Amino acid sequence: MGLYIHIPFCIRKCNYCDFLSFGGVSEEGQNAYFRSLLHSIKTYHEIYSNQYYVDSIFIGGGTPSLVEAGLIEELMAEIRSGFTVDQNAEISIETNPKMLTKKKLNTYLEAGINRLSIGAQSFDDALLRTMGRVHSAEDVLENYMLARECGFRNVNIDLMFAIPGQTMSVWMDTLEKAIGLEPEHISFYSLQMEEGTPFFSMLREGELKEIEDVLDREMYHRAIELFMNSGYQHYEISNAAKEGYPCRHNLKYWSMEDYLGLGLGAHSFMDGIRFSQMEELAAYTKGALRKEKGGAFVAWEHKNTRQDDISEYIITGMRKLEGINLRDFETRFEQTIEDVFSANWYRLQKYIDEEYIVKSAENMHFAIKGIDISNTILTEFV
């Protein structure tokens, strides 16, 4: 199983962010949170450690690298004390370019963390300011070098495109700089205007202009082209990696494999049941004081029906460029995919005929132009 840990703290929130994270939480608060977090790990391993061993860990946030290194150390220790962690497990941590020090990096390495994700987003200082990022392009470079120096051999760089004010040439420049650093993995997301974020209000007030769909798609396609010509495999809608370096943890999400998410608002999928942890920071932190059993942290739970499984198998599997294995589908669900969706297959056939989807007897995956309208196509499968 995979293990996801959520650290919901940031220096301050970026203008576009709608993730579950908070700026300005005191060290005391962070500490208190960790008490609860560690307690929940203890509780959950009592439930799962007999049946599962952990082969991937992902520490995400927020900015996990914001907290004191010692807390991360404690975290890893707690995980190992309760769960059996495979010696070849992929263990990632998300970091922000401004927060990394040699000391932190070494602590991470000693704790067994072997994959580093750097939230660069852009190499253009003006854009970084627009986005409300706390670092500069220089910081990205510095931190990347530092990570290599310390010995990290599996590094990911996060990039963003379709940022208001971004031109194609700035994007290409960013890509080239990122690829030039030769990270093992690059994630590239198009900016989404989410309700409740400063960007959204600015957009509504007319202070920001959204990048047009046509340009957004062009940026996306040019990025893919560049990756392919630079030795990267575009393996998921928004992810590219050198051979052997796709993110094993994230792949679990897209392959209907088991994963446990602990910490504020974290999501899990274990034994066919989806559940998530509570989202109120104060309540979560108090949890430790009450010594709640694992169940009390849970805000929501749902046992997947067969229909849920089928839909999710497809909508997650199709995020991978390799798509889904139809033989496997048939074995799992004891029905062919054409049969399950016979009522609207005529519409899907249109997409196949027009080459948005590529389908053979064994496999079904999106063509690149299919990715552009993947949501539209995927509604046929829910």
Residue 22 or 189: the one with the smaller Cβ distance to other proteins is 189
DSSP 3-state of 93: strand
Least gap, CB of 171 to other proteins (angstroms): 14
Residue 7 or 105: the one with the smaller Cβ distance to other proteins is 7
Residue 105 or 275: the one with the smaller Cβ distance to other proteins is 275
Amino acid at 210: E
Residue 86 or 354: the one with the smaller Cβ distance to other proteins is 354
Which residues bind to other proteins, rule: CB under 8 A? Answer: 4, 60, 189-190, 192, 213-214, 216-217, 237-238, 250, 253-254, 259, 261, 266-269, 274, 276, 302, 308, 311-312, 315-316, 319, 371-376, 378-379, 381-382
Q: How many CB atoms lie within 10 A of CB 162?
A: 21
Please tell me the distance from the alpha carbon of residue 159 to that of residue 353, in angstroms, as a whole number: 34
Evaluate the CA torsion angle 304, 306, 309, 315 in order and state its sign.
negative
Q: How far is CA 123 from the centre of its chain?
A: 21
How do strand 2-7 and strand 22-23 relate by DSSP bridges? unpaired
DSSP 3-state of 269: strand
Least gap, CB of 27 to other proteins (angstroms): 26
Please tell me the distance from the alpha carbon of residue 179 to that of residue 157, in angstroms, as a whole number: 9
The H or E element that residue 186 is part of is strand 185-190
Least gap, CB of 11 to other proteins (angstroms): 21
Least gap, CB of 215 to other proteins (angstroms): 10
Q: How far is CA 361 from the centre of its chain?
A: 31
If phi > 0 it is left, if psi is from -120 to 50 it is alpha, else beta; for residue 82 that is alpha
Q: For helices 137-150 and 102-110, give the axis angle rounded to 10 degrees.
A: 40
The first and second tokens of residue 285, run together, are: 């932190």
Residue 31 or 311: the one with the smaller Cβ distance to other proteins is 311
